[in-house]
Amino acid sequence: MRTPAKLLICLALLIMLAPIGYMFLATLINLDTGFLFEVITNSRYLVLFSRTVLIATLTALGSIILGVPLAFILARFRIPFSRTLEYLLLLPILIPSYFVTISLVYMLGWNGILTVWLQKLLGISTLPFNIYGVTGAVFIMVMCHFPFVTFLTLAGLRNLDSNLEKTAWLTTSKFRAFLSVSLPLVLPYILGGGILVFVLAVNNFDVPSITLLDVYPLEIFYRFSVFFRTDQAMILTLPLLAITLTAVLIWYYLFRNRPIFTINTRWKAPERIPISWLAQTLCLVFITLIIGLSVALPIIGLALNINSLTDIINTFIIIQPHLFNSISTTFISTAGTLILGFLLAYLLERTEFRFKGLLLWLLILSLVIPGAAIGLGLIKLYNHSGLLFIYHSQFIISLGLMARFVALPALIMAGAFKTLDPSLENAARVAGVSRTATLTRVILPLLKRPLAISAIICFILAINELAVTILVAPPGITPLSVRIYSLFHFNKAAEVASMCLIMAFLVVLLYIILGSVIKED
């Protein structure tokens, strides 16, 4: 890639990361050393941090315990409806964690429908399970995040060379061969899934903010919102930043030379083995139970708050302007994030330049900065006479969303580039095909799948984002995520449930459309 192109990409990245840089610089210039000392010495922060790490660790472990067997069943056993079940298991990722939390609070809260029913059934006044405590938070987060482990493990299993296992069969049993050959090869994928879940859980704000559980990300929010101390909030982010950076780097190095997406393998993945009807039934019961808990239960929880279809129709009519704003903003940000993410991945994987390491660190850093910090940075940078045309438009929200999420498609696409044989591009170039044609006719078609997956992830995250959106949404524009969050606290259960279902429907629709595009390919 030529230098001007590199510069242009770096400039675009700089624009996106500028708010984050601004907030860090402002904090460093006026460093509150007293507060820094307090963070180190006050046991309050240690307790909160430990609790947050404990929740994240338990969530990661829970996701592994649930996600890995699912992946093995789907990848290695011949069971009916496996393709459909695989699609259904993706749904928990598509439904945002705060929808699930709201729904489970409606179901299992102090006076939730299920709580009251269980209390009557069991004849007890207090259930042993509490959705508001650490156990509740872990349960909700596991239900939301376990598919990451499942699908990464699936990717690992499908990228295995079946010949390795078959060779081992010559000297040992199939089970032993699996344990000694296949499992070690899949282990990095399992660990990668666990780490990904850990990172998502350690930074999760939605679940504890709804279930009132004091955790470290909430403490950061209080510094912003209760004390107006942006600088102290930035200092508070440092321990979270350190642990997340460590986890993300481990993840990055685990997958440095391992493909997540199978694009052009030279080997054949192990075939699925037939199992007895009893084993098939047991597998189906297990998968159905998981889908029931992670997908059906939240949807039923929401649906029970809707009195009739009219509720949904009325809500749809009321939210139409909010919906249009949210969708248009989300589309702009998703498109921008994808384009820049793709180009950054190309820079990282296909070119050599001096500040490559720095670029990678910046990307990872952008993943863990609190949304409120990005929002405040955007206000400070764009609320000036020359830039008011951006500040007063929806584009300011899109910019914030791009800054928050650009690293995700960049890292996913970088992983995909690793699996793409560079000789294909070289062959095209040698044959006289231009760089652009190589990009559009060779690279892009091969990377359709990871691109579509990145698009879905960015769209879901963007349409549900609250922290940046609430701070920078221009007057006259109320994004849907802000409206839902507000109405939940106003106890408007029917409207909230209707909106959640409409949003979930939109996301699933996008998933089906993009899925069919990939399938056609």
Partner 1 sequence: MTLKNLLFLVSLTLLVILTICPACSKTPSNEVVIYTALDEVFSGPILKSFEKDTGIKVQMLTDTEASKTVGLATRLVAEKDHPQADVFWNNEIGWTLVLKQQGILAPFSPTSAKDIPERYKDPQGYWTGFAARARVILYNTDLLKEAEAPQSVLDLTQPQYKGKVAIARPIFGTTLTHAAAFFAVLGEADAKKLFMNLKANDCKIASGNMMAAKMVASGELPLCLTDTDDANEMMLDKKPVKIIYPDQSGIGTLVLPNSIGLIKGGPNPVNGKKLIEYILSAQTEQRLAKLASAQMPLRPGLEPYSPLFDLRNIKVMAIDYSKLADAIDPAKKFIYDEFLK
- List interacting residues with partner 1 (CB under 8 A): 1-2, 4-5, 8-9, 12, 44, 110-111, 209-210, 212, 214, 222, 224-228, 332, 336, 339, 343, 372, 376, 379-380, 383-385, 389-395, 434-437, 439, 470-471, 473-478, 482, 485-491
In this complex, which beta carbon is closest to partner 1, that of residue 224 or of residue 511?
Answer: 224
In this complex, which beta carbon is closest to partner 1, that of residue 405 or of residue 488?
Answer: 488
Instruction: Give backbone dihedrals phi and psi of 391, rounded to 5 degrees, phi first.
Output: -60, -30
Q: How far is the CB of 461 from partner 1 (least distance, A)?
A: 19
Q: Which DSSP state fits 250?
A: H
Give the separation between CA 70 and CA 286, rounded to whole angstroms: 8
In this complex, which beta carbon is closest to partner 1, that of residue 222 or of residue 361?
Answer: 222
Q: How far is the CB of 198 from partner 1 (least distance, A)?
A: 26
- Classify 268 as helix, strand or coil: coil
| Residue spans of alpha helices (H) in 123-182 | 134-158, 162-169, 174-177
Q: How far is the CB of 12 from partner 1 (least distance, A)?
A: 8
Q: How far is the CB of 374 from partner 1 (least distance, A)?
A: 12
| Residue spans of alpha helices (H) in 369-406 | 371-382, 388-391, 395-405
- Classify 273 as helix, strand or coil: strand
Q: How far is the CB of 338 from partner 1 (least distance, A)?
A: 11
In this complex, which beta carbon is closest to partner 1, that of residue 182 or of residue 232?
Answer: 232
Q: How far is the CB of 448 from partner 1 (least distance, A)?
A: 18
Q: How far is the CB of 450 from partner 1 (least distance, A)?
A: 19
- How many beta carbons lie within 10 A of that of residue 426, not counting itself? 11
Residue type, 301: G
Closest CA to 330 of 401, 404, 379: 401
In this complex, which beta carbon is closest to partner 1, that of residue 85 or of residue 369?
Answer: 369
Closest CA to 373 of 400, 355, 394: 400
Q: Name, in order, each residue with C-beta under 8 angstroms of 487's C-beta and a sequence gap of 6 or more.
A: 495, 496, 499
Give the DSSP H/E element, type plus range, for residue 308: none
Q: How far is CA 356 from CA 18, 214, 254, 347, 352, in A?
A: 18, 38, 19, 8, 7
In this complex, which beta carbon is closest to partner 1, that of residue 260 or of residue 471?
Answer: 471
Distance from the first to the final alpha carbon of the chain: 28
**Would you state the structure tokens that stand for residue 168, as one six-digit string?**
């081992």
In this complex, which beta carbon is closest to partner 1, that of residue 229 or of residue 258?
Answer: 229
Give the separation between CA 135 and CA 521, rounded to whole angstroms: 43
Q: How far is the CB of 112 from partner 1 (least distance, A)?
A: 10
**Would you state the structure tokens that stand for residue 501, as one six-digit string?**
């279902």
Q: How far is the CB of 331 from partner 1 (least distance, A)?
A: 10
Q: Name, in order, each residue with C-beta under 8 angstroms of 243's C-beta and a sequence gap of 6 or more.
A: 53, 202
Q: How far is the CB of 376 from partner 1 (least distance, A)?
A: 5
Number of residues that this document lists for the chain: 521
Q: What angle do CA 420, 423, 424 make, to 5 degrees?
A: 70
In this complex, which beta carbon is closest to partner 1, that of residue 394 or of residue 464?
Answer: 394
Give the separation between CA 450 and CA 442, rounded to whole angstroms: 15
In this complex, which beta carbon is closest to partner 1, that of residue 193 or of residue 341?
Answer: 341
Q: How far is the CB of 128 from partner 1 (least distance, A)?
A: 17
Q: How far is the CB of 210 from partner 1 (least distance, A)?
A: 7
In angstroms, what is the C-alpha Rg of the chain?
A: 24
CB 82 within 8 A of CB 126: no
In this complex, which beta carbon is closest to partner 1, that of residue 44 or of residue 78?
Answer: 44
In this complex, which beta carbon is closest to partner 1, that of residue 4 or of residue 123?
Answer: 4
In this complex, which beta carbon is closest to partner 1, that of residue 255 or of residue 488?
Answer: 488
**Would you state the structure tokens that stand for residue 181, as one six-digit string?**
């050959």
Dihedral (CA of 488, 492, 496, 499) sign: negative
